[in-house]
Amino acid sequence: MAITVILWIDNLFSRAQLQQKLVHGVSDVQATSSGEEAFSILRENPQAIAFIDAENHSLPSNFWEIVKPFAQRVVLYYPHVRTEIVHQAKGAGIRHVYPRSQVFKNPGGILERLQEEKAE
């Protein structure tokens, strides 16, 4: 099933790397540098999934509150040394929180897990 994936990733190299890995099997990969745009797409497309870098410089101070309505459709990744992010994300209802290396190793597998959960 083709889906829309939003990449809210400030780091251009990381964004390009992830976009390249996701392009197969995904109908639309949209990169954004703004939360406004990312959340707008999530609101308009209930099937869309967002990959978000927890170290985005553009994350608003109230990010954890804003993300709650979309938490089940968000994949958040963080640097291994910033484990406090896991607790904040779980508190916001985000179940798919991974160290950066896991996301970049197998983003397709993570998308499959999300799709399976949505189907249940």
* Closest by CA position to 67, among listed 79, 77, 76: 76
Domain residue ranges of the chain, discontinuous segments joined by +: 4-119
pLDDT of amino acid 2: 66
Q: Is 19 left (phi over 0), alpha (psi -120 to 50) or beta?
A: alpha
pLDDT of amino acid 80: 87
In the CATH hierarchy, which top-level class contains the domain 4-119?
alpha beta
pLDDT of amino acid 33: 80
Distance of alpha carbon 2 from its chain centroid, rounded? Answer: 17
- Per-residue pLDDT 10s for the chain (120 aa) are 568 899 999 999 999 999 988 877 676 899 998 889 999 999 999 889 999 999 998 899 999 999 999 999 999 999 988 888 999 999 999 999 999 999 999 998 998 888 888 776
pTM value is 0.91
